[in-house]
Amino acid sequence: MKEYWQEIHALTMRWVRRLSRERFSMLFTLVQPMLFWLIFFGNLFQRAANVQVTQAPDYISFLTAGVVVMTVLNNGLAGGVDLLFDKENGFLERLMTTPIHRSSVILSRFIFVMTITSLQVLVILGVAFLFGVQPATGLLGIAAILMIGMLFGVGLTAISMAMAFSVKSHGDFFSVLGFLSLPMIFLSSALVPLVGMPAWMGFLARFNPMTWAIDAVRPLILSGWTEALPHVGMVVVVMLIFDALCLYGSVKVFRRAMG
Amino acid sequence: MDRAIAIQVSRLTKTYDGHMAVSDLSFQVYSGEIFGLLGPNGAGKSTTLRTLITLLTPTSGTASVLGHDTVREADVVRQLIGYVPQERAIDRFLTGREHLELLGALYHLPKAEAAKRIAELLKLVELEEAADRAAKTYSGGMKRKLDIACGLLPDPKILFLDEPTLGLDVQSRLRIWDYVRMLKARGMTIVMTTNYLDEADQLCDRLAIIDGGKIKTLGSPAELKVGLGGDIVSLTLKDQSKIPTLVSALTRQPAMRAVKATPTGLDIRVESPEKALPAILESANRLDCQLEFIEYHRPRLDDVFIAHTGRRIQDETPNAAE
């Protein structure tokens, strides 16, 4: 057990070091493009968005939940990138010849991605606060938002890592990533609530786990516990199923890739 | 003399999607020797190496390292070996020291023990000054040295080197050879792949020539060369009409293995030059054959490779795309 922890700690610290070595990457990780969605998109659509539809005091406070979950989505889907590079340059092979638990590599990645994602979510909530968005459920609500983000992120990161191990080249990886990301966002309740969508898009959005996550985060920010709790309960169930499916599929891939 | 066996490979076969990378390979590596797997790209030497270091599971057959099966006892094997992958298995954002510290943790070394070994290794590979710089500032030779330090960190019984000098300049190359010889002198067993003939010739105690997934021949470089049928003495005669006389005179002598007439003289395969040269000169004198030129040529590993595979090592493998 002590050895297991020593491995996970060393591997996690490697991801942290890598990030801290790249000043620009570090900066852009914290001041991420997602902030632009919040600041520009949020303010831009302030008058274009119909308050009757969004059921929120202003569009930016409606959008905050969407941007929070979009951050989780992007981080999760990109979570396997570093393993992809490790695979391509042979570093992974070096790790695999050491007497470590194979799962240490995967777990270190989960820990790192979840930590970075949580920090980014806090930055987004902080910036939203500057624009007057105050989470209705307070600090406990923020903790619940982080938990939802992690539940969603685990499954996404698992998919991303499995993809990193399966693709032939990193070109393939980034193509799939680019292809997945936008439909996931548009076919969710991130920008428009389900009731405000064309029927067919709303129908598809119901099958998007992202929608469930957003519909739980949103009342935590806008309404309060009484309205949020049923959604939070529901999202936990949905996410556990989602994670179980993702992990089941990816563990097979990990086993094959790492022996 | 019975020598301790470090690695035993028995009837190893590995297929990928119906393509046979390695087929029915059997060989042994003795403790304390430098063993080379020589062959062109795609010959199966990397597959063999990667099976030994537990990265691949054989389709059939077995491999054992110091008596431990590479599949069933993979974790034990991993404790005993060090691996130096092909170039660039380096995290460009980490410093040299951080690479070694990471591996120290992955081999579960206590901090103090790790720090001591790291200091020793950095000194050994002359990277002390660069130890705290990010690896992206390293030259090709420095990265290779760091690779080797990483392979040595677990203090392995057996070190595996995959193409240790691929793409290096001459100086770095010689430096790496020095390290390998020094490690052998310390008693380490070394297994390496290479597609450089001179490297195999200079460095390896024994080597297996692999082509098309099969071992074509195996032995020490000297044995392999002798196995070809001896050194070659080429004579050029002043008077070419005397060639047949000299051929028939030499053919009967025991020190000559084969005598062949050429347009300007003779090519003679000899077992040992010490016995053959005096006899040749003596016969030439006795028959009054004046020699214009005499050349003595030892078979090179190139000749061995061509004799066993039917082509030069630089040629593409036959099944590779044109």
Contact residues on chain B for A3, CB-CB shorter than 8 A: 108
Nearest to A146 by CA among A113, A179, A122: A122
- Check residue A130 and report its DSSP letter: H
Helices H, strands E: what count in chain B?
11, 14
Instruction: Find tokens 């000299």 and name the residue.
Output: B246
Residue A170: predicted pLDDT: 82
Cα dist from A247 to A70, A117, A149, A151, B305, whole Å: 21, 19, 16, 12, 50
CB contact at 8 A, A253 and A166:
yes
Instruction: Kindly state the DSSP code that residue B240 receives in the 8-state scheme.
Output: G
Residue A196's CB is within 10 A of a number of other CB atoms, namely: 16
Long-range interactions of B216-222: CB distance < 8 A, separation 24+: B216/B308, B216/B309, B217/B304, B217/B308, B218/B27, B221/B301, B221/B304
Tens of pLDDT, residue by residue over A121-170, are 999 999 999 999 999 999 999 999 999 999 999 999 999 999 999 998 88
Q: Tokens standing for B114?
A: 């790790």
> What are B123-134's pLDDT values in tens digits?
999 999 999 999
**Could you tell me if A150 and A120 are in contact, meaning their C-beta atoms sit under 8 angstroms apart?**
no
Looking at the DSSP bridge assignments, the partners of residue B160 are B83, B191
pLDDT at B230 over 80: no
Nearest CB neighbour to B85, from listed A9, A21, A90:
A90
Residues of chain B contacting residue A6, judged by C-beta atoms under 8 Å apart: 105, 108
**Which tokens in the block code for residue B243?**
């060639």
Interface list for chain B against chain A, based on CB atoms closer than 8 Å: 53-57, 74-75, 78-79, 81, 83, 85-86, 88-91, 93-94, 98, 101-103, 105-108, 134, 150, 154
CB contacts, 8 Å: B78 with chain A: 97-99
Mean of the pLDDT values across residues B161-170?
A: 88
Q: State CA B169 to chain mean position distance.
A: 18
Give A7 to chain B, closest Cα distance, Å: 5
C-alpha closest to that of B193 among B21, B48, B308, B33 = B48
**Residue B242 in this model has a pLDDT that exceeds 80:** yes
Asked if residue B268 has pLDDT above 90, the reply is no
- Structural contact between residues B301 and B221, judged by C-beta atoms closer than 8 angstroms: yes
Q: Could you tell me the pLDDT band of residue B272, with boundaries at 50, 70 and 90?
A: confident
Q: Which of A21, A86, A94 has its CB closest to that of B134? A: A21
Question: Strands, E, within chain B: which ranges?
Answer: 5-16, 19-30, 34-38, 60-65, 68-69, 81-84, 158-162, 189-194, 206-211, 214-219, 231-237, 256-261, 265-270, 291-297
- Over residues A17-36, the pLDDT tens digits come to 988 887 777 677 667 778 88
Looking at residue B316, its pLDDT comes to 46
pLDDT for the residue numbered B89: 85
Q: Using CA atoms in the order B245, B247, B251, B252, what is the torsion angle rounded to 10 degrees?
A: 10
Q: Do B102 and A6 touch (CB under 8 A)?
A: no
What's the rounded Cα separation, in Å, for the pair A173 and A86?
A: 14
pLDDT tens string B298-307: 787 887 887 7
Do the Cβ atoms of A7 and B106 come within 8 Å? yes
Q: Using 50, 70 and 90 to split pLDDT, how confident is the model at A259?
A: low
* % of chain B with per-residue pLDDT over 90: 54
Q: Which of A24, A29, A98 to mutate to test the interface with B (most CBs of B within 10 A)?
A: A98
> Which residue's structure tokens are 């080249």?
A169
> Per-residue pLDDT for B263 more than 50?
yes
- Cβ-Cβ contacts under 8 Å, A103 against chain B: none
Q: pLDDT-derived band of residue A55, with 50, 70 and 90 as boundaries?
A: confident
Q: Do A90 and B88 touch (CB under 8 A)?
A: yes
Per DSSP bridges, beta strands B81-84 and B68-69 are unpaired
3-state SS assignment for residue A243: helix
- Here the tokens at position A10 are 């060393």
What is d(CA A256, CA B12) in angstroms, rounded to the nearest whole number?
Answer: 20
pLDDT value for B206:
96
CA-closest candidate to residue A34, choices A61, A62, A73: A73
The angle subtended at Cα B281 by Cα B275 and Cα B287, nearest 5°, is 130
Instruction: Name which of A9, A90, A98 is nearest B78 (Cβ-Cβ).
Output: A98
Which residue is closest to B51 within chain A, CA to CA?
A97
The complex scores an ipTM of 0.88
Q: Which chain A positions have a beta carbon within 8 Å of B163's beta carbon?
A: none
Mean pLDDT of all residues in A222-243 = 94
- Percent of the residues in chain A that have a pLDDT greater than 70, as a whole number: 98
Between B20 and A232, name the one with better pLDDT.
Answer: A232
On chain B, the residues whose CB falls within 8 A of the CB of A97 are 53-55, 78, 81, 83
Tell me the chain A residues in contact with residue B79 when contact means C-beta distances shorter than 8 Å: 99
Residue B322's pLDDT is 31
Q: What is the pLDDT of residues B52-95, one digit of tens each?
A: 999 999 999 999 999 999 999 999 999 999 999 886 789 989 99
Nearest CB to B105 within list A10, A17, A93: A10
- Those residues whose C-beta lies under 8 Å from the C-beta of residue A160, and which sit 6 or more positions away, are A76, A77, A78, A79, A80, A81, A177
Task: Go through chain A and tell me how many residues it has.
Answer: 259
Chain A CB contacts of B91 under 8 Å are 14, 18, 86, 91
Q: What is the mean pLDDT of chain A?
A: 91
pLDDT, residue B320, reads 37
Mean pLDDT for the stretch of residues B103-108: 96
Section B304-315 average pLDDT: 75
Contacts of A107 in chain B (CB under 8 A): none
Q: Give the gap in angstroms from C-alpha B125 to the nearest C-alpha of chain A.
A: 19
The set of long-range contacts for B130-133, using a CB threshold of 8 Å and a minimum separation of 24, is: B130/B96, B131/B95, B131/B96, B131/B97, B132/B95, B132/B96, B132/B97, B133/B95, B133/B96
Indicate yes or no: CB of B81 within 8 angstroms of CB of A21. Answer: no
Report the SS3 class of residue B186.
coil
Collapsing DSSP to helix, strand or coil, B141 comes out as helix
* A and B: number of Cβ contacts within 8 A: 71
From the list A18, A95, A259, the residue facing B106 with the nearest CB is: A95
What crossing angle do the helices spanning B140-152 and B170-185 adopt, rounded to 10°? 10
Question: What is the DSSP secondary-structure string of B9-38?
Answer: EEEEEEEETTEEEEEEEEEEEETT-EEEEE
pTM check: above 0.95: no
Under DSSP, the state recorded for A37 is I
C-beta of residue A162 within 8 angstroms of C-beta of residue A250 = yes
Mutate to test the interface with A, among B57, B91, B136 (most CBs of A within 10 A): B91
Confidence band for B318, pLDDT divided at 50, 70 and 90: very low
